Structure 1
Amino acid sequence: MRVERFTRIVWILLGAVLILDALIVSITFSINSGVVATFGIGVLYLFYGLCRDRVRASRRKGLLQWMRIPILIGSGLMLLLFAFIAVLGRVDTVSHQEDAVIVLGTALNGEEVTPPLRSRLDVAVEYSTANPDAVIAVAGGQGPGDSITEALAMERYLVSRGVAEDRIMREDRSTSTYENFVFAKRLLHAHFDADCTTAFITNDYHVYRAGEIAEVAGIASTHAHADTPWYGIPVDYVREFLAITKFVLTGR
């Protein structure tokens, strides 16, 4: 009985944490697919926890009994994928001898870089110090509600941190990770007038998918990870789960 009660409390707390995190991210930044999915999963877990005793007691195939196995299997698969991308995402492969580094964009807060993007840019600053000859390509167009492009905001931040403006190239048309790579590749090839070696920088949860997309875009790239703010982990990982599912189905 104690184990069952503890398990029930865990489901309830997990659901409440996911709902709260989704609300915090939606208020602080914006509403996206990750926020909506995290909120929905939180509601599902909360409902399941509150009704768990009735699920186990029920001997007929009602709604609650039908929910039990899909929730357990789906949660297990998500946890396995989360563990995979979390571990892989923290293994850097950069040599600091690449010709260029591509910093992948993400959402802004008006004209200001958000904490996840700032984390990526701080890693880019560190990279630029370790490899002072490298060109830095900042990639990202203008998202809904933003007053400037992600690339421009990224360039401004890098310059404010001491990176020379003439080392920075702006790719400001892309609206997806695939376009980040495709358009940045065109800029870099035009700049070097030949193939060049590249590294990309993104948050840890995004490294695996970004690497796969880079290959689809024809870029053999090393990578360096940036940390994900703790309060964004649930939403970002759930959103990445959806994005990886999309990538498997569409290749982008």
Structure 2
Amino acid sequence: MNIKKLINLVILFLGVLGVLNFFILTWVNPVFNFGAFIILIAGICLIITAILRINGKTHIFSIKNKIIRRVFALLAGLLALSFVLIQGLIIFYAQEDDNIEEADCMIILGAGLIGDYIPLTLQYRLDKGIEYLNKNPDLKVIVTGGQGPGETVTEAFAMEKYLINNGVDASRIIKEDKATSTFENFKFSKEILDEINGEEAHKIIVVTNNFHMFRSKMIAERVGFTVYRLPTKTNTRVLISCHVREYFAVIKSFIFDK
């Protein structure tokens, strides 16, 4: 098999993988996922590209104008470079901090519910929080998340119920049930802590999935928190989708979440 045929097969394989990923993720969690949708579109584009290449019609994508061709090449290069750099940061920050015991409060970030059902992504966060709270009985915890599309209760309500059902005393739990984004999770949580403890430099433990930790830390520090990371794992069936979605979310948060 020559190199050209091998490249065509790889492109076709990646395209099919992207489409399958979308349907698997939709089956696991029927709530719309932007990251999965992006991968679906990319998969379809790759399949079309592979079919055109196999049929010898790659000239459709050739750009004769040298300036336009170079601009497209530069943009593609910058896109690829930014993707690699951001993914590197996501992986680097998906580690637990060593001096986590210095924190004053824990914040567990909400994630999409299915009705009032807690999916694995959020369950991992809650279980990680419970594990640490059991070892530190004096620590309070904020559960943060409002009610979004496809949810019959607020994320904070479902999270509080889960913690109580798993042995966390209700008096230790503070509910923030208005937030609709990661930025609002921290903004509204800080307002609550400012009201309770005064406007000071709050030291918090952030509990979220590993892919989400870099952006969470960035936003929390912008809001005014000192952050200690307590990441948890991610469902492997949605890991690729989460990383792709997070790339776009990091760019959005870097520009707008201030």
Label 1:90 to 1:41 Cα distance change in 2 as closer, same or farther (>3 A): farther
SS in 1 for 2:100: coil
2:183–2:257 CA contact under 8 A, matched in 1: no
1:89-108 alpha-carbon deviations (Å, 9 max, x no partner):
13435522322100011100
Q: Specify the alignment match of 1:19 in structure 2.
A: 19
Q: Specify the alignment match of 2:47 in structure 1.
A: 46
2:105–2:205 CA contact under 8 A, matched in 1: yes
1:23-82 alpha-carbon deviations (Å, 9 max, x no partner):
2222332113212211111112222233335366789537xxx7x956676456434432
Greater alpha carbon shift after TM alignment, 205-214 vs 193-202: 193-202
Label 1:94 to 1:137 Cα distance change in 2 as closer, same or farther (>3 A): farther
Label 1:107 to 1:218 Cα distance change in 2 as closer, same or farther (>3 A): same
Label 1:75 to 1:19 Cα distance change in 2 as closer, same or farther (>3 A): farther
Q: Specify the alignment match of 1:227 in structure 2.
A: 233
Task: Give identity over the alignment, percent.
Answer: 29
SS in 2 for 1:101: strand
Residue 5 of structure 1 aligns to which amino acid in structure 2? Answer: K
Residues in 1 aligned to 2:173 and 2:123: alpha-carbon distance in whole angstroms: 16
Aligned pairs for 1:49-88 (under 5 A) are 49-53=50-54, 54=56, 60-61=62-63, 69=73, 74-75=79-80, 77-88=82-93
Residues in 1 aligned to 2:170 and 2:99: alpha-carbon distance in whole angstroms: 23
Residues in 2 aligned to 1:212 and 1:80: alpha-carbon distance in whole angstroms: 15
Instruction: Determine if the alignment matches structure 1 residue 120 to structure 2 residue 125.
Output: yes
Residues in 2 aligned to 1:59 and 1:164: alpha-carbon distance in whole angstroms: 62
Task: Please point out which of 169, 174, 178 is paired with 1:173.
Answer: 178
Q: Specify the alignment match of 2:32 in structure 1.
A: 31
Residues in 1 aligned to 2:196 and 2:62: alpha-carbon distance in whole angstroms: 68
Residue 2 of structure 2 aligns to which amino acid in structure 1? Answer: R
Instruction: Determine if the alignment matches structure 1 residue 130 to structure 2 residue 135.
Output: yes
Greater alpha carbon shift after TM alignment, 152-161 vs 4-13: 4-13
* Aligned positions, number: 250
Label 1:94 to 1:155 Cα distance change in 2 as closer, same or farther (>3 A): farther
Residue 43 of structure 1 aligns to which amino acid in structure 2? Answer: I
2:203–2:227 CA contact under 8 A, matched in 1: yes
Aligned pairs for 1:88-103 (under 5 A) are 88-93=93-98, 95-103=100-108
SS in 2 for 1:89: coil
Instruction: Determine if the alignment matches structure 1 residue 218 to structure 2 residue 219.
Output: no
The normalised TM-score by structure 2 is 0.86
Q: Specify the alignment match of 2:197 in structure 1.
A: 192
The normalised TM-score by structure 1 is 0.88
CA RMSD in angstroms, aligned pairs only: 2.6
Greater alpha carbon shift after TM alignment, 102-111 vs 213-222: 213-222
2:90–2:214 CA contact under 8 A, matched in 1: yes
Greater alpha carbon shift after TM alignment, 27-36 vs 215-224: 27-36
